[in-house]
Amino acid sequence: MTNYFDMSGKVVLVTGGSRGIGYEFVKGFADQGADVVIASRKLDACETVAAEVREMGRRALPYACHMGKWDDLPGLVDAAYAEFGKVDVLINNAGMSPVAGASIDVTEDLFDKVIDVNFKGPFRLTALVGARMVQAGKGSIINVTSTGSIRPLPEFGPYAGAKGALNIVTRGQALEYGPAVRVNAIMAGPFWTDVSKAWREQLDKTSDSAVSRIGRPQEAVTTALYLASDFSSYTTGAVIELSGGIR
């Protein structure tokens, strides 16, 4: 039987890979045979996850990097290629969603931080890795956006705007780097992870989605595995809503 999710021999770079859905991506891809680069702001958190991956028999590179800082990103890419010689899959997962409140009260500093991490960083990292993937003749890039981008709440205005921009640039960069490289997005609703532990149980009981619950991490992982696999060769420029049919 064909294993459609086999990632043996592939190298996957996951930003925000030390917790939440990013952590689940790291473990899920390693379980399917991939070696991984784990990037986030805190090196010790990345190293902890890297140790788990090595116990699974896979190679791992932990790397501390602020995804919102333009000039920090080339170092991450250089380190990944120095360690593994390639990146087959890039998952732009890192993000931040602070409560912004009323638009009139949003400071320039908060606005810039939200835009930098949620939009500027993924745009720049895709440019850096995408160009190398084109030279290699193949690759898959997956952006993690949010249903907040199409169902925005007033208190999360800058976040919704940044994720909406990422939806759009996903399509643009798919055209730019195709046909060799595919660029897609997972537009995620709420998920049951360690990041959501303050509210996940209550929302899981009261969800008005079509499946009457919030998502489980494995449901995000299998979607990412599909987009990373060669069996999704006709899927690019897509923004896949993964929300259980949220209203």
The per-residue pLDDT for range 97-139, each reduced to its tens digit, is: 777 788 998 899 999 999 999 999 999 999 999 999 999 999 9
**Residue percentage of the chain with pLDDT more than 90:** 74
Q: Is the pLDDT of residue 78 over 70?
A: yes
Residue 197: what pLDDT?
Answer: 64
Residue 164: band (very low, low, confident or very high) from pLDDT cuts 50, 70, 90 = very high
The beta-carbon contacts of 83-86 under 8 Å, at least 24 apart in sequence, are: 83/37, 83/59, 84/11, 84/35, 84/37, 84/59, 86/11, 86/132, 86/136
Q: Total structural domains in the chain? A: 1
CA angle 17, 22, 25 (to 5 degrees): 105
Residue 1 lies in a domain: no
In the set 159, 177, 226, 234, the catalytic residue is: 159
Handedness of CA 11, 14, 18, 20 (dihedral sign): negative
Residue 175: what pLDDT?
Answer: 98
Residue 86 lies in a domain: yes
Residue 72: what pLDDT?
Answer: 95
Q: Is the pLDDT of residue 174 over 90?
A: yes
List C-alpha distances in Å: 141 to 63, 76, 178, 182, 203.
19, 16, 11, 6, 30
Return d(Cα 96, Cα 166) in angstroms, integer. 14
Return d(Cα 225, Cα 232) in angstroms, integer. 9
Residue 223: what pLDDT?
Answer: 96
| Amino acid identity, position 102 | A
Residue 65 lies in a domain: yes
Enter the tokens of residue 32.
């399917």
**CATH code, domain with 171:** 3.40.50.720
Torsional class of 235: left (φ above 0), alpha (ψ -120 to 50), beta (otherwise): beta
pTM for the model: 0.94
Residue 38: what pLDDT?
Answer: 98
| Amino acid identity, position 130 | G
The per-residue pLDDT for range 1-51, each reduced to its tens digit, is: 788 899 999 999 999 999 999 999 999 999 999 999 999 999 999 999 999
Return d(Cα 141, Cα 119) in angstroms, integer. 14
Residue 87: what pLDDT?
Answer: 98
Residue 101: what pLDDT?
Answer: 80
Any idea which residue has 């499946």 for tokens? 211
φ, ψ at 146 (rounded to 5°): -145, 150
Enter the tokens of residue 80.
């990944």
Q: Is 159 designated active site?
A: yes
Residue 90 lies in a domain: yes
Query: Is residue 84 a contact partner of residue 52, using CB atoms and an 8 Å limit?
Result: no
Query: Is residue 150 a contact partner of residue 165, using CB atoms and an 8 Å limit?
Result: no
Residue 3 lies in a domain: no
Residue 193: what pLDDT?
Answer: 78
Residue 247 lies in a domain: no
The per-residue pLDDT for range 183-210, each reduced to its tens digit, is: 999 999 888 776 676 778 787 778 888 8
**Residue percentage of the chain with pLDDT more than 70:** 98
Please give the residue range of the domain that contains residue 45.
Answer: 11-242
Residue 119 lies in a domain: yes
List C-alpha distances in Å: 85 to 9, 12, 79, 131, 132.
12, 12, 9, 14, 11
Residue 232 lies in a domain: yes
